[in-house]
Amino acid sequence: MHELTLTRQTQGIDPVLHAWGWEIPVYLFLGGMVAGMMILVGYALLKGKHKERACVCSVLPATGLVLLTAGMLALFLDLEHKSYVWRLYTTFQIASPMSWGAWILVLVYPALLAAWLVRPPFLVRGLWPALDRITALASTGRFLRTIAFAQIALGVALGIYTGILLSSLGARPFWNSAMLGPLFLVSGLSSAAAFTHMVARSREESVLFARADNLFLTVELAVIALFLIGMLSGPRTHVEAAGLVLNGRFSAVFWVFVVGLGIVLPLVVQSLAVRHRIAHTPVAPLLVLAGGLVLRFVIVHAGQYSHWTRL
């Protein structure tokens, strides 16, 4: 089984004209978003916000489980030898990003379930009386802190892994950057904060996560700049790979949909909203989510197009 089939080539056909799949970008986007949700849930639990009735920590863990399952399904659809997936769990290869990712994902599911048990929906509690005792145990003292720190640690690991998965493939100059891990992590945090800003039932929480998203968007712009500067400071192949998004065939999508509509415009709109100049609306969060998804498509496709023989 080849590495996520990211290095597929079509003989005699320009890769840009080839119908690339959607599965890997969607998997990377959903995985990064779930990673951001886990970090936000860990923060909320440490701050004791689970005691508030309208806390989003009662919504994000279940949402994360659904989104992660959808992402895993997208990844499974892209694999060429689907019947051999189980072999990933018969060994652990310390030098393989795929092996790390497979085992991180195994830990993420129970961690999200544990966070969900801290604040399960009232309807679910009624179906299983023993759940009240489990919730009381999970939401107190040492158990709560353990769950919170597990959310943050696994969230960081999952978010960075989605970038390292690509950057480890040195045959693709556009992916061969240590900044992809931090970029995907902060982008996932931004997407999670935007989603939380949009679904929060408390105005206070909505404003809190809008401010957090503004911070993440600002950091994301800085990381993108460092990513491109690092590419431009490298050998000629990396300079030409960076040109794919600076002034090449992917530049229009990158600058308009990722930077312009996905980062700068939402940053301006949400900055005005938190200063009470305009009302909070779903427009900016939806733009952030769309920008995060398009970012993955651009990076995956630009990386597929960039290789040493072509450049």
- Residue 305's pLDDT is 86
Q: What are phi and psi of 258, to 5 degrees?
A: -90, -60
Domain assignment present for residue 3? The answer is: no
Among 204, 202, 209, 161, CA closest to 183: 161
Taking only the tens place, the pLDDT of each residue in 132-142 is 666 666 667 78
User: Whole-angstrom Cα distance, residue 311 to residue 305?
Assistant: 9
Domain assignment present for residue 113? The answer is: yes
pTM (predicted TM-score): 0.87
Residue 55 is part of which domain span? 20-168
Domain assignment present for residue 2? The answer is: no
pLDDT above 60 (res 144): yes
CB 285 within 8 A of CB 195: yes
User: Whole-angstrom Cα distance, residue 279 to residue 229?
Assistant: 37
* Candidate ranges 5-19, 82-96, 117-131, 261-275; pick with highest mean pLDDT: 261-275
Confidence bin at 3 (pLDDT 50/70/90): very low
- Residue 128's pLDDT is 62
User: Whole-angstrom Cα distance, residue 124 to residue 19?
Assistant: 44
Domain C-terminal end among 114, 140, 168: 168
> Do 234 and 286 have their domain in common?
yes
Q: What percent of the chain has pLDDT over 70?
A: 86
Taking only the tens place, the pLDDT of each residue in 180-236 is 999 999 999 999 999 999 998 888 889 999 999 999 999 999 999 999 999 999 888
> Do 92 and 180 have their domain in common?
no
Total domain count for the chain? 2
List of residues 6+ apart from 283 with CB closer than 8 A: 269
